[in-house]
């Protein structure tokens, strides 16, 4: 299927579709299909009840997904892909995201990976300030727990634990 934007049981190819198509089965036995690129962004659709198909998925930074031998961002090697390609920074200079330098997050917002999240309105907007989605309760809690925020908090002294 590489080099093709159409799949036998998939909907028609979107206009302007080009590049490689790739499919993979998610842990919940869903089917995730990456169908070509439009302006550098992969189009995705999820189908339920369909078996896995062959293909290639390449992330926007050039990292290619390998379902059988995937070691990116696991507990043994926590480097970003750019660190794998260009080496680690010297001691004391941390790379916070795969993009270096990282995006500046507006005060009061979180960077949730595909845009900025406002916890007061529960709205995610892309990095160009266009509406993406409203976050449900699960996504809201996940963002607050795991994502980078646009401000620093004073932690203070912690007594010996």
For the chain, 161 residues long, the average pLDDT of each consecutive 10-residue run is 36 39 47 44 47 68 78 75 83 80 92 94 96 96 93 80 67
- Do 88 and 46 belong together in one domain? no
- Do 126 and 141 belong together in one domain? yes
Write down which residue in 67, 90, 122 finishes a domain.
67
Residue 159 lies in a domain: no
Residue 41 lies in a domain: yes
**Cα–Cα distance measured from residue 106 to residue 39, given in angstroms and rounded to the nearest whole number:** 26
**Cα–Cα distance measured from residue 105 to residue 101, given in angstroms and rounded to the nearest whole number:** 12
Backbone angles phi, psi at 134, to 5 degrees: -95, 135
Residue 12 lies in a domain: yes
Structural domain that includes position 140: 103-151
- Do 38 and 5 belong together in one domain? yes
Q: What is the pLDDT of residue 31?
A: 45
Joined tokens for residue 115? 């845009």
- Do 6 and 48 belong together in one domain? yes
Q: Where are the alpha helices (DSSP H) in the chain?
A: 81-86, 137-146
- Do 62 and 24 belong together in one domain? yes
């Amino acid at each position: 299927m590489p080099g093709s934007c159409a799949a036998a049981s998939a909907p028609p190819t979107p206009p302007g579709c080009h590049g490689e198509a790739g499919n993979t089965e998610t842990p919940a036995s869903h089917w995730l299909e990456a169908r070509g690129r439009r302006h550098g962004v992969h189009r995705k659709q999820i189908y339920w009840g369909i078996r896995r198909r062959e293909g290639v998925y390449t992330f926007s930074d050039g990292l290619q997904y390998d379902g059988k031998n995937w070691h990116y961002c696991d507990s043994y090697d926590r480097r970003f892909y750019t660190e794998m390609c260009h080496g680690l920074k010297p001691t004391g200079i941390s790379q916070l995201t795969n993009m270096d330098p990282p995006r500046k997050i507006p005060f009061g917002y979180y960077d949730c990976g595909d845009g900025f999240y406002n916890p007061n309105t529960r709205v995610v907007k892309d990095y160009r300030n266009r509406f993406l989605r409203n976050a449900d309760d699960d996504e809201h809690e996940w963002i607050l727990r795991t994502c980078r925020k646009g401000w620093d908090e004073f932690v203070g002294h912690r007594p010996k634990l």
